[in-house]
Structure 1
Amino acid sequence: MFITVRYGANCREMVNLQCRVLILTAHMKSKCQCRPDDCIDLLDETGTLMNLSKVENPASEFASKYLRERERYILIRIIRGESSEATCYESLLENLGKHHPDLADRLQQLSANAQMRHQWRRGSLQRRAQPLTSTPARPRPTSQSKKSSEFKGTPR
Protein backbone atom coordinates (compact mmCIF):
# COMPACT_ATOMS: atom_id res chain seq x y z
CA MET A 1 0.00 0.00 0.00
CA PHE A 2 1.53 3.26 -1.14
CA ILE A 3 0.75 6.74 -2.39
CA THR A 4 2.68 9.20 -4.52
CA VAL A 5 3.31 12.68 -3.14
CA ARG A 6 4.36 15.47 -5.51
CA TYR A 7 6.37 18.47 -4.30
CA GLY A 8 9.27 20.75 -5.25
CA ALA A 9 10.40 20.97 -8.86
CA ASN A 10 8.09 18.14 -9.97
CA CYS A 11 9.60 15.68 -7.48
CA ARG A 12 7.71 12.54 -6.56
CA GLU A 13 7.97 10.44 -3.43
CA MET A 14 6.34 7.06 -2.95
CA VAL A 15 5.17 6.68 0.64
CA ASN A 16 4.04 3.55 2.45
CA LEU A 17 0.59 3.98 3.96
CA GLN A 18 1.30 1.47 6.72
CA CYS A 19 2.94 4.12 8.86
CA ARG A 20 1.73 6.60 11.43
CA VAL A 21 0.54 10.04 10.29
CA LEU A 22 3.28 11.64 12.39
CA ILE A 23 5.99 9.61 10.61
CA LEU A 24 4.56 10.37 7.17
CA THR A 25 4.45 14.13 7.79
CA ALA A 26 7.94 14.17 9.37
CA HIS A 27 9.32 12.24 6.38
CA MET A 28 7.71 14.64 3.90
CA LYS A 29 8.98 17.67 5.83
CA SER A 30 12.53 16.35 5.57
CA LYS A 31 12.16 15.55 1.86
CA CYS A 32 10.87 18.99 0.91
CA GLN A 33 13.20 20.76 3.36
CA CYS A 34 10.45 22.30 5.48
CA ARG A 35 11.09 23.55 8.99
CA PRO A 36 10.10 21.07 11.72
CA ASP A 37 7.44 23.47 13.02
CA ASP A 38 5.82 23.93 9.57
CA CYS A 39 2.32 22.56 9.23
CA ILE A 40 1.89 20.46 6.09
CA ASP A 41 -0.96 18.50 4.58
CA LEU A 42 -1.96 16.76 1.38
CA LEU A 43 -4.39 17.72 -1.35
CA ASP A 44 -5.73 15.01 -3.62
CA GLU A 45 -6.09 15.52 -7.37
CA THR A 46 -9.78 16.36 -7.04
CA GLY A 47 -8.97 19.29 -4.73
CA THR A 48 -9.96 17.67 -1.44
CA LEU A 49 -7.85 18.60 1.56
CA MET A 50 -6.92 15.46 3.50
CA ASN A 51 -6.73 17.28 6.87
CA LEU A 52 -3.80 15.24 8.19
CA SER A 53 -2.85 18.31 10.19
CA LYS A 54 -6.10 17.96 12.16
CA VAL A 55 -5.67 14.30 13.13
CA GLU A 56 -6.15 14.18 16.90
CA ASN A 57 -3.46 11.62 17.64
CA PRO A 58 -1.02 11.47 14.69
CA ALA A 59 1.46 9.35 16.68
CA SER A 60 -0.99 6.44 16.88
CA GLU A 61 -3.22 6.82 13.78
CA PHE A 62 -2.18 5.06 10.57
CA ALA A 63 -2.02 7.10 7.37
CA SER A 64 -4.00 4.38 5.57
CA LYS A 65 -7.05 5.46 7.58
CA TYR A 66 -7.03 8.88 5.86
CA LEU A 67 -5.45 8.31 2.46
CA ARG A 68 -6.38 6.09 -0.47
CA GLU A 69 -3.97 3.50 -1.81
CA ARG A 70 -2.21 4.30 -5.14
CA GLU A 71 -3.53 7.87 -5.22
CA ARG A 72 -1.44 10.91 -6.07
CA TYR A 73 -1.34 13.85 -3.68
CA ILE A 74 0.12 17.35 -3.71
CA LEU A 75 2.08 18.47 -0.67
CA ILE A 76 0.89 21.79 0.74
CA ARG A 77 1.93 24.06 3.59
CA ILE A 78 -0.69 25.51 5.89
CA ILE A 79 0.09 28.99 7.10
CA ARG A 80 -2.08 29.99 10.02
CA GLY A 81 -2.56 33.63 10.91
CA GLU A 82 -3.05 35.10 14.35
CA SER A 83 -6.25 33.17 14.85
CA SER A 84 -6.89 29.60 13.78
CA GLU A 85 -9.47 30.73 11.19
CA ALA A 86 -7.06 32.95 9.24
CA THR A 87 -5.43 30.26 7.14
CA CYS A 88 -3.53 30.28 3.86
CA TYR A 89 -2.73 27.17 1.83
CA GLU A 90 0.47 27.14 -0.21
CA SER A 91 1.45 24.46 -2.71
CA LEU A 92 4.88 22.93 -2.18
CA LEU A 93 4.79 21.70 -5.79
CA GLU A 94 6.36 24.41 -7.92
CA ASN A 95 4.24 25.66 -10.81
CA LEU A 96 1.09 23.98 -9.54
CA GLY A 97 -0.96 26.03 -12.01
CA LYS A 98 1.03 24.55 -14.88
CA HIS A 99 0.56 20.94 -13.74
CA HIS A 100 -2.91 21.24 -12.20
CA PRO A 101 -4.67 24.55 -12.96
CA ASP A 102 -7.84 23.44 -11.16
CA LEU A 103 -5.91 22.65 -7.99
CA ALA A 104 -4.22 26.06 -7.99
CA ASP A 105 -7.68 27.65 -8.11
CA ARG A 106 -8.89 25.31 -5.38
CA LEU A 107 -6.04 26.35 -3.04
CA GLN A 108 -6.95 29.99 -3.59
CA GLN A 109 -10.59 29.19 -2.79
CA LEU A 110 -9.62 27.35 0.38
CA SER A 111 -7.50 30.29 1.49
CA ALA A 112 -10.20 32.82 0.62
CA ASN A 113 -12.90 30.79 2.39
CA ALA A 114 -10.80 30.58 5.54
CA GLN A 115 -10.19 34.34 5.46
CA MET A 116 -13.87 35.06 4.83
CA ARG A 117 -14.88 32.87 7.79
CA HIS A 118 -12.37 34.75 9.95
CA GLN A 119 -13.63 38.16 8.81
CA TRP A 120 -17.26 37.13 9.28
CA ARG A 121 -16.62 35.89 12.81
CA ARG A 122 -14.58 38.94 13.67
CA GLY A 123 -17.27 41.22 12.22
CA SER A 124 -20.07 39.43 14.03
CA LEU A 125 -18.19 39.78 17.31
CA GLN A 126 -17.76 43.48 16.70
CA ARG A 127 -21.46 43.83 15.91
CA ARG A 128 -22.38 42.06 19.14
CA ALA A 129 -20.10 44.34 21.15
CA GLN A 130 -21.70 47.54 19.82
CA PRO A 131 -24.57 48.99 21.87
CA LEU A 132 -28.00 49.00 20.32
CA THR A 133 -28.98 52.45 19.15
CA SER A 134 -32.37 51.90 17.63
CA THR A 135 -35.51 53.94 18.04
CA PRO A 136 -38.09 52.57 20.42
CA ALA A 137 -40.82 50.52 18.83
CA ARG A 138 -44.33 51.93 18.61
CA PRO A 139 -46.85 50.14 20.73
CA ARG A 140 -48.98 47.81 18.66
CA PRO A 141 -52.70 48.22 18.96
CA THR A 142 -54.37 45.41 20.83
CA SER A 143 -57.53 43.78 19.64
CA GLN A 144 -59.47 45.82 22.23
CA SER A 145 -58.15 49.14 20.90
CA LYS A 146 -58.88 48.05 17.31
CA LYS A 147 -62.49 47.32 18.19
CA SER A 148 -62.93 50.63 19.96
CA SER A 149 -61.50 52.56 16.99
CA GLU A 150 -63.94 50.79 14.65
CA PHE A 151 -66.89 51.89 16.75
CA LYS A 152 -65.69 55.48 16.85
CA GLY A 153 -65.58 55.57 13.08
CA THR A 154 -61.87 56.32 12.92
CA PRO A 155 -59.71 54.63 10.32
CA ARG A 156 -57.23 52.04 11.42
Structure 2
Amino acid sequence: MFVTVLFGESKMELFNINCQLIHFVHNLKERCGVDMKDCVDLMNRSGAVVNLESKPLSLELASSLLAERQHYVLVQVCRNDDDGSLKYVSLLQSVSPCHQEVKELLRRLCNPGLDGDKKVNGLRRARTQKRVSTSQN
Protein backbone atom coordinates (compact mmCIF):
# COMPACT_ATOMS: atom_id res chain seq x y z
CA MET A 1 0.00 0.00 0.00
CA PHE A 2 1.52 3.27 -1.13
CA VAL A 3 0.74 6.84 -2.22
CA THR A 4 2.62 9.28 -4.43
CA VAL A 5 3.40 12.73 -3.03
CA LEU A 6 4.16 15.64 -5.38
CA PHE A 7 6.42 18.44 -4.10
CA GLY A 8 9.29 20.76 -5.05
CA GLU A 9 10.20 21.23 -8.70
CA SER A 10 7.89 18.52 -10.08
CA LYS A 11 9.39 15.91 -7.75
CA MET A 12 7.44 12.89 -6.58
CA GLU A 13 8.08 10.23 -3.96
CA LEU A 14 6.32 6.99 -3.07
CA PHE A 15 5.30 6.56 0.58
CA ASN A 16 4.12 3.49 2.46
CA ILE A 17 0.75 4.13 4.14
CA ASN A 18 0.75 0.87 6.09
CA CYS A 19 2.32 2.59 9.11
CA GLN A 20 1.27 4.84 11.98
CA LEU A 21 0.52 8.48 11.11
CA ILE A 22 3.21 9.78 13.45
CA HIS A 23 5.86 7.83 11.50
CA PHE A 24 4.31 8.64 8.12
CA VAL A 25 4.40 12.41 8.79
CA HIS A 26 7.98 12.24 10.12
CA ASN A 27 9.12 10.32 7.03
CA LEU A 28 7.18 12.70 4.76
CA LYS A 29 8.94 15.76 6.20
CA GLU A 30 12.34 14.08 6.16
CA ARG A 31 12.20 12.86 2.55
CA CYS A 32 10.61 16.05 1.19
CA GLY A 33 13.09 18.34 2.93
CA VAL A 34 10.59 20.07 5.22
CA ASP A 35 11.62 21.40 8.63
CA MET A 36 10.40 19.04 11.35
CA LYS A 37 8.83 22.00 13.21
CA ASP A 38 6.64 22.96 10.23
CA CYS A 39 3.09 21.69 9.96
CA VAL A 40 2.31 19.95 6.67
CA ASP A 41 -0.70 18.37 5.06
CA LEU A 42 -1.66 16.65 1.82
CA MET A 43 -4.19 17.71 -0.80
CA ASN A 44 -5.86 15.04 -2.93
CA ARG A 45 -6.83 15.31 -6.62
CA SER A 46 -10.28 16.68 -5.80
CA GLY A 47 -8.76 19.58 -3.82
CA ALA A 48 -9.64 18.28 -0.36
CA VAL A 49 -7.08 18.48 2.43
CA VAL A 50 -6.45 15.27 4.39
CA ASN A 51 -6.06 17.13 7.75
CA LEU A 52 -2.86 15.49 8.94
CA GLU A 53 -2.24 18.51 11.18
CA SER A 54 -5.20 17.54 13.37
CA LYS A 55 -3.54 14.20 14.23
CA PRO A 56 0.23 14.85 14.43
CA LEU A 57 0.92 12.25 17.14
CA SER A 58 -1.74 9.72 16.15
CA LEU A 59 -1.03 6.02 16.28
CA GLU A 60 -3.72 5.37 13.65
CA LEU A 61 -2.58 3.89 10.37
CA ALA A 62 -1.95 6.40 7.59
CA SER A 63 -4.14 4.20 5.40
CA SER A 64 -7.14 5.33 7.49
CA LEU A 65 -6.80 8.84 5.97
CA LEU A 66 -5.11 8.19 2.63
CA ALA A 67 -6.34 6.18 -0.33
CA GLU A 68 -3.78 3.77 -1.71
CA ARG A 69 -2.21 4.39 -5.13
CA GLN A 70 -3.41 8.00 -5.19
CA HIS A 71 -1.46 11.19 -5.86
CA TYR A 72 -1.29 13.92 -3.20
CA VAL A 73 0.28 17.38 -3.19
CA LEU A 74 2.34 18.45 -0.18
CA VAL A 75 1.20 21.73 1.40
CA GLN A 76 2.42 23.67 4.41
CA VAL A 77 -0.17 24.69 6.99
CA CYS A 78 0.18 28.18 8.51
CA ARG A 79 -2.07 29.40 11.32
CA ASN A 80 -3.09 33.07 11.29
CA ASP A 81 -2.21 34.57 14.69
CA ASP A 82 -5.05 37.12 14.54
CA ASP A 83 -8.06 34.88 14.04
CA GLY A 84 -6.65 31.34 14.19
CA SER A 85 -7.66 30.54 10.62
CA LEU A 86 -5.55 28.17 8.52
CA LYS A 87 -3.68 29.15 5.38
CA TYR A 88 -2.17 26.61 2.99
CA VAL A 89 1.05 27.16 1.06
CA SER A 90 1.84 24.76 -1.77
CA LEU A 91 5.21 23.02 -1.55
CA LEU A 92 4.92 22.06 -5.22
CA GLN A 93 6.70 24.88 -7.05
CA SER A 94 6.16 23.77 -10.63
CA VAL A 95 3.47 21.50 -11.96
CA SER A 96 4.50 18.99 -14.62
CA PRO A 97 2.40 18.79 -17.82
CA CYS A 98 0.86 15.50 -16.69
CA HIS A 99 -0.53 17.14 -13.51
CA GLN A 100 -2.04 20.38 -14.89
CA GLU A 101 -5.43 19.87 -13.18
CA VAL A 102 -3.61 20.21 -9.85
CA LYS A 103 -2.62 23.80 -10.67
CA GLU A 104 -6.18 25.15 -10.41
CA LEU A 105 -6.91 23.13 -7.26
CA LEU A 106 -3.78 24.56 -5.59
CA ARG A 107 -4.75 28.09 -6.60
CA ARG A 108 -8.16 27.66 -4.97
CA LEU A 109 -6.73 26.08 -1.82
CA CYS A 110 -3.93 28.61 -1.32
CA ASN A 111 -6.01 31.69 -2.33
CA PRO A 112 -9.58 30.90 -1.24
CA GLY A 113 -10.86 34.50 -1.25
CA LEU A 114 -9.89 35.40 -4.81
CA ASP A 115 -12.86 33.76 -6.55
CA GLY A 116 -15.36 35.41 -4.21
CA ASP A 117 -13.69 38.82 -4.61
CA LYS A 118 -13.96 38.64 -8.40
CA LYS A 119 -17.69 37.88 -8.21
CA VAL A 120 -18.39 40.62 -5.68
CA ASN A 121 -16.40 43.21 -7.63
CA GLY A 122 -18.17 42.21 -10.84
CA LEU A 123 -21.57 42.64 -9.17
CA ARG A 124 -20.55 46.04 -7.80
CA ARG A 125 -19.45 47.19 -11.24
CA ALA A 126 -22.71 45.98 -12.79
CA ARG A 127 -24.80 47.81 -10.18
CA THR A 128 -22.76 50.99 -10.60
CA GLN A 129 -23.11 50.90 -14.38
CA LYS A 130 -26.85 50.29 -14.04
CA ARG A 131 -27.21 53.30 -11.71
CA VAL A 132 -25.21 55.52 -14.04
CA SER A 133 -27.25 54.54 -17.10
CA THR A 134 -30.54 54.96 -15.15
CA SER A 135 -29.58 58.41 -13.87
CA GLN A 136 -28.63 59.57 -17.37
CA ASN A 137 -32.09 58.70 -18.72
TM-score (norm 1): 0.62
Which one has the bigger strand percentage? 2
Deviations 1:87-107 (A, max 9, x none): 221111121486645433333
Of structures 1 and 2, the larger Rg is shown by: 1
Q: Which runs of 5+ in 1 are unaligned?
A: 115-156
Identity of counterpart residues, as a percentage?
Answer: 29
| 1:143 paired residue number | none
Higher relative contact order by CA 8 Å / sep ≥ 6: 1 or 2? 2
Dislocated runs of 4+, deviation >2 Å: 96-114
State the one-letter code of the partner of 1:31. Answer: R
Matches within 5 A, 1:63-142: 63-82=62-81, 83-85=83-85, 87-96=86-95, 100-113=99-112
State the one-letter code of the partner of 2:60. Answer: E
State the one-letter code of the partner of 1:67. Answer: L
| Aligned residues: CA RMSD | 2.3
Whole-Å separation in 2 of the counterparts to 1:4 and 1:62: 17
1:53 paired to 2:91: no
| Maintained 8 Å contact 1:45/1:73 | yes
Whole-Å separation in 2 of the counterparts to 1:94 and 1:113: 18
Inter-CA distance 7–110: structure 2 relative to 1 (3 Å threshold): closer
TM-score (norm 2): 0.70
User: 3-state SS of the aligned residue for 2:106?
Assistant: helix
Q: Which runs of 5+ in 2 are unaligned?
A: 114-137
Aligned pairs, how many?
Answer: 113
User: 3-state SS of the aligned residue for 2:22?
Assistant: helix
User: 3-state SS of the aligned residue for 1:94?
Assistant: strand
